[in-house]
Amino acid sequence: MRTKDVDDVIHQNDEEPGAIAEGGGGGLQKRLKANDLIGFGIGIVIGTGIFTLTGVQAKNAAGPGIVISFLVAGVVAALAAVCYAELAAAVPTAGSSYTYAYTTIGEIFAWIIAWDLILEFALGSAVVARGWSGYLQDMFDLPTRWFGEDAVVNVGAVFIVLVVGVVATIGIRESKIVTNALVLIKVAVCIFVIVVGAFYVKAANFSPFIPPSQDGKDLSELKQPLWQWITGADPTAFGVAGMLSAAAVVFFAYSGFEAVANLGEETEKPGRDMPRGLIGTLAICTVLYALVCLVLTGMVNYTEISEGAPISNAFTVVGLDWANVLVNIAAIAGLTSVLLVEIVALGRIGFAVSRDGLIPKGVGEIHPRFHTPARFSIGVTIFIAVLAAVIPLDALAEMVSIGTLFALFVVAIAVIVLRRTKPTMKRPFRVPQVPIVPILAAVLCVALMTNLATETWLRFIVWFAAGILIYALYGFRHSKLRRRA
């Protein structure tokens, strides 16, 4: 239950950029502004969720109500983002929620959060890479034995992971240039989908907007949402329950916005720009998500939506085959930017954990030329490439959702704790109505988590247990705080 002092964290961030201190410390160069943070945020948020999950959840769980599902998920994400904004502005550091937990509720919980974030970003990156490979195969009709889901080794996925890993390793300036370019492409195409697709919307496709509840007894116990399994309620699809279940799954589409907080140490004016970056990211993405879903379910009846490529297929249905090319370009650009920001964020998490001695200090050292945690970035790039090569793209979205929601839950609690333990600390941005807003954010995160499948909870518990074992065998004994005690 050891905790770090907030003042020590802030002082640590003021070290000379590129210096390598005991424990893998050393500052990162401050080169980012609010618009760069929003670019990184949109880069990681708009990707796999809108291009794939929309079709699956609209067709099988929510119907046109998928619009409400995205709005519900967006509200929960916004409440959590406000909590993130206070902490990110007050404690601008690499590691984000890991460091926030370390300064409020203790080292063991901080390690759990770091382990949770590694789950979120590593598995999410592998899924994104496989999706990227699939879109590339579809666009250029490449050999499925190397690029399709049936490939023994998905060469396309490995290729994009390695390329993006190099960009993430050589520097934050290069990363932000690539990310901003890709963001412009996919936002432009999202606007194209909304504007052009609106001319092909049929009001009849919105009826019923929330399809009536249907019997879901064909679901196994492990596939049921956790709350249904606990209460013994009959499993259902569609209706309000289906819409909320879809909200929990499509929360995956918002996962990663918290990666912006990992860049606090590299932001020129974090007190001003961190809140703008976090809240601006979610505002833009929520509006785009809701409008794209509204147009999609208006163009095609929800029962006929494609689960694999819902947006491009919708244009095919209305006779605009040429639009497929633009949608595919947006998907490839979107997934590339997601992958880039996730690998950048993983590097910063490794840097923070290494600096505290919970993993070997040499792993997170700052490269003297690139000013990035190059060793850790290279390591996670190889790890993700292996996962992307052999793991199929299936139901991993739920694993990413539960990891994200758990981290956001801890951040909301950390705001309340830090207000009590450090009431006089300088806070450039303050969450309104504390403790009401953080408590509401925490409760809604847990509520969405209980709408995820029981088997997802079991997998999360196994990952959680593995993390505790690693901490017990290494982190506890090598912690920098323990050595100081």
281-302 burial: b if 16+ Cβ within 10 Å, else e:
bbebbbebbbbbbbbbbbbbbb
Lowest mean pLDDT among 346-355, 359-368, 374-383: 359-368
For the chain, the first-to-last Cα distance in angstroms comes to 13
Task: Report pLDDT for 20.
Answer: 38
Task: Report pLDDT for 394.
Answer: 55
For the chain, helix (H) and strand (E) counts, in that order, are 21, 2
At 453, give phi and psi (nearest 5°): -65, 150
Q: Taking residues 265-273, report their average pLDDT.
A: 79
* pLDDT tens for each residue of 406-445: 888 988 998 998 899 888 888 888 898 999 999 999 999 9
**What is the rounded distance in angstroms from the CA atom of residue 474 to the CA atom of residue 485?**
17
* pLDDT tens for each residue of 208-260: 999 988 776 566 667 788 888 888 777 677 888 889 888 988 887 887 777 77
At residue 22 the predicted structure's pLDDT band, cuts being 50, 70 and 90, is: very low
Domain ranges of the chain: 26-484
Estimate to the nearest angstrom the gap between the alpha carbon of 338 and the chain centroid: 9
**What is the rounded distance in angstroms from the CA atom of residue 306 to the CA atom of residue 314?**
8
Q: Is 199 helix (H, G, I), strand (E, B) or coil?
A: coil
**What is the rounded distance in angstroms from the CA atom of residue 134 to the CA atom of residue 398?**
20
- Region of residue 307 (phi > 0: left; psi between -120 and 50: alpha; otherwise: beta): alpha
Task: Report pLDDT for 326.
Answer: 82
Is residue 21 over pLDDT 50?
no
**What is the rounded distance in angstroms from the CA atom of residue 12 to the CA atom of residue 174?**
25
Whose tokens are 């990891």? That residue is 403
Tell me the β-bridge partners of 214: 237
Q: Is 18 helix (H, G, I), strand (E, B) or coil?
A: coil
Task: Report pLDDT for 442.
Answer: 95
**What is the rounded distance in angstroms from the CA atom of residue 224 to the CA atom of residue 453?**
5
In the structure encoding, which two tokens stand for residue 452, read together? 């995820």
Instruction: Give the fold, CATH level 3, of 26-484.
Output: Amino acid/polyamine transporter I (1.20.1740)
Q: Taking residues 449-459, report their average pLDDT.
A: 88
Lowest mean pLDDT among 92-106, 132-146, 193-207: 92-106
Task: Identify the DSSP state of 234.
Answer: P
Is residue 389 over pLDDT 80?
yes
Q: Taking residues 306-329, report their average pLDDT.
A: 82
Task: Report pLDDT for 161.
Answer: 95
Q: Is 32 helix (H, G, I), strand (E, B) or coil?
A: strand
At residue 368 the predicted structure's pLDDT band, cuts being 50, 70 and 90, is: confident
Task: Report pLDDT for 146.
Answer: 84
Task: Report pLDDT for 87.
Answer: 81
**What is the rounded distance in angstroms from the CA atom of residue 244 to the CA atom of residue 391?**
28
Task: Identify the DSSP state of 60.
Answer: I
